[in-house]
């Protein structure tokens, strides 16, 4: 085919509005232009995805000379000032071969994949059984992953099915978190291996695809200048690489990355279209699975808030605040002070805290400090040795010692006399007691819950409650 250049600009691209329309997926809608300016013919690349090449060198703008070879997509041209005998021996090719291989880095917008535009499939892709096979593969993949609810299982299944339809050696799905500029999780697979061990990938390529939202394919990576600065690809001797964005409603979830070190693996534009379509299907399924997982976690969290064990009655907002408080403090070993008027159920709250703690199977011992005299309270709390006082005919363990491993509830703590408060402070600080009349400290492991109906701030001012015990 011979094209005569007139004075006006010659536009080349995939759209019918161009002066020269080339129906080739490697060609952009408006790919390049050739114009005559003051006797010089210049070729200009119109920011095409896959580049314009003159004498096998990517070119943005260049003055053409007689015999220059021009490559646009898979079409080749020769620029001639005049036609001579030598030029007639030059072969022109508009390749329509199914397995056309190029070292060009191919880029593809997500919405340009022909598999996502059924009306363009017949006119754009090569005829034959390959199209039917890949359409069947897409249907099979969609059916297989639609019922998987666990995101990790879904990612692994997608990679396995990519191995079934594409001759790649390794594959990975990398996901982003709240920061869309970096990856936080990844699922890795190698052909014929179920180990799932992470391997070195080109984060330069992955981040570029994530940032631009454009699928990328590179053949003969070691010879392609576009990948020369990517050390990981060169070091791993990667021959071909794919990287496709995972996007849902313009939201970037991550990328699908695949590569191979086999020099004999042949990839073309069709493979990139196929992987882009797989990524589109997988992104929707993955977003759905992640959303279901979040809903299940949120449901479990809310159930934990309301499903605490207690003997209280009520569903008012104030009662829900009490239940929320119990849920927060129960798993810890913090000392708890419950304040409220007499008869409001302070001991019920204390028991609920114990029942929902890790100590639930250990003793819960309640003591009413207001019901005992000073001497009896000390003996009840710490126990006594035989002969410690008149009537102490045998050794007796105190309530705190009996509750070892469990919870001690001191009701009406505001009524406790200062001398006993000092010994209780030692229990809190040292986790040990000493029986009345004893000389040997005894280690104890307890959680202390206290309650009072008194204004402790006023008791502090009056000196009836120790400051160090209160704080």
| Domain assignment of residue 109, yes or no | no
Same domain, 282 and 390: no
pLDDT of residue 117: 59
Same domain, 415 and 327: yes
Total tally of structural domains belonging to the chain: 3
Last residue of one domain, picked from the residues 59, 79, 99: 79
pLDDT of residue 93: 34
Same domain, 288 and 173: yes
Last residue of one domain, picked from the residues 79, 102, 119: 79
Same domain, 178 and 245: yes
Same domain, 74 and 20: yes
Q: Spell out the per-residue pLDDT of the chain, length 471, in tens.
A: 677 776 678 999 988 888 888 887 778 888 999 988 777 889 999 988 778 888 877 888 889 988 888 988 878 888 888 765 444 433 333 333 333 333 445 566 656 665 655 555 555 555 556 777 778 778 888 888 887 888 888 888 888 888 888 888 888 888 887 766 777 788 888 887 777 788 887 777 888 888 888 888 877 665 555 555 455 555 566 778 888 998 888 788 889 998 888 777 777 788 888 888 888 888 888 888 888 888 887 777 666 655 666 667 777 788 888 888 888 888 888 889 998 888 888 888 888 889 888 888 898 888 888 887 777 888 888 888 887 777 777 888 888 888 889 998 988 888 888 888 888 888 888 888 888 888 888 888 989 999 998 888 888 888 888 888 877
Same domain, 287 and 330: no
Same domain, 49 and 171: no
Quick: pLDDT tens for 259-286.
888 777 777 788 888 888 888 888 888 8
What is the C-alpha to C-alpha distance for residues 377 and 402, in angstroms, rounded to an integer?
15
Helix (H), strand (E) at residue 20:
strand 20-21
Provide the residue range defining the domain that includes 56: 10-79
| Domain assignment of residue 91, yes or no | no
pLDDT of residue 32: 92
Same domain, 206 and 322: no
| 451: β partners | 338
Question: How far is CA 197 from its chain centroid?
Answer: 18
Same domain, 222 and 334: no
| Domain assignment of residue 408, yes or no | yes
Does the pTM of the predicted model rise above 0.85? Answer: no
| Domain assignment of residue 326, yes or no | yes
| Domain assignment of residue 194, yes or no | yes
Which candidate, 254, 275, 313, places its Cα nearest to that of 162? Answer: 275
pLDDT of residue 12: 92
| Domain assignment of residue 212, yes or no | yes
Same domain, 445 and 375: yes
| Domain assignment of residue 447, yes or no | yes
Same domain, 280 and 337: no
Last residue of one domain, picked from the residues 52, 79, 106: 79
Q: Which two tokens stand for residue 46?
A: 């119109």
CATH number for the domain harbouring residue 285: 3.30.450.40
Identify the burial level of 421 via C-beta atoms within 10 angstroms of its C-beta, where 0-12 means exposed, 13-18 middle and 19 or more buried: middle
């Amino acid at each position: 085919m011979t094209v005569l250049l007139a004075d006006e600009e010659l536009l080349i691209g995939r759209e019918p509005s161009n002066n020269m329309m080339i129906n080739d997926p490697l060609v952009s809608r408006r790919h390049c232009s050739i114009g005559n300016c003051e006797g010089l013919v210049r070729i200009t690349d119109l920011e095409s995805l896959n580049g314009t090449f003159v004498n096998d060198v990517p070119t943005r703008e260049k003055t053409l000379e007689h015999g220059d070879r021009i490559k646009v997509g898979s079409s080749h041209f020769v620029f001639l000032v005049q036609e001579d005998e030598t030029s007639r021996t030059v072969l022109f090719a508009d390749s329509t071969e199914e397995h056309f291989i190029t070292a060009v880095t191919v880029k593809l917008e997500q919405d340009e994949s022909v598999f996502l535009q059924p009306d363009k499939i017949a006119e754009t892709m090569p005829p034959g059984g390959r199209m039917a096979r890949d359409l069947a593969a897409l249907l099979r993949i969609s059916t297989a992953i639609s019922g998987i609810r666990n995101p990790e299982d879904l990612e692994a299944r997608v990679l396995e099915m990519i191995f079934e339809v594409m001759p790649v050696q390794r594959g990975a799905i990398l996901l982003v978190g709240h920061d869309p500029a970096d990856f936080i999780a990844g699922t890795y697979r190698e052909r014929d291996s179920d180990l799932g061990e992470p391997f070195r990938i080109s984060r330069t390529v992955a981040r570029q695809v994530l940032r631009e939202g454009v699928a990328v394919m590179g053949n003969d990576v070691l010879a392609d200048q576009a990948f020369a600065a990517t050390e990981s690809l060169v070091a791993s001797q990667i021959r071909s690489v794919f990287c496709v964005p995972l996007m849902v409603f313009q939201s970037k979830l991550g990328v699908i990355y695949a590569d191979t070190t086999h020099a004999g693996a042949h990839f073309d534009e069709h493979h990139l279209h196929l992987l882009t379509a797989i990524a589109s299907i997988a992104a929707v399924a993955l977003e759905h699975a992640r959303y279901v997982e979040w809903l299940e976690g949120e449901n479990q969290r809310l159930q934990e808030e309301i499903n605490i064990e207690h003997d209280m009655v009520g569903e008012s907002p104030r009662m829900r605040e009490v239940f929320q408080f119990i849920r927060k403090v129960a798993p810890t070993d913090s000392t708890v002070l419950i304040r409220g008027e007499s008869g409001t159920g302070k001991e019920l709250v204390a028991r609920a805290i114990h029942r929902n703690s890790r100590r639930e199977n250990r003793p819960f011992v309640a003591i009413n400090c207001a019901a005992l005299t000073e001497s009896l309270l000390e003996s009840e709390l710490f126990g006594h040795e035989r002969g410690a006082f008149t009537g102490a005919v045998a050794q007796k363990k105190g309530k705190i010692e009996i509750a070892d491993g469990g919870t001690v509830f001191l009701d009406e703590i505001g009524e406790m006399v200062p001398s006993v408060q000092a010994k209780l402070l030692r229990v809190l600080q040292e986790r040990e007691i000493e029986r009345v009349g004893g000389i040997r400290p005894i280690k104890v492991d307890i959680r202390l819950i206290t309650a009072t109906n008194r204004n402790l701030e006023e008791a502090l001012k009056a000196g009836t409650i120790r400051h160090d015990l209160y704080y």
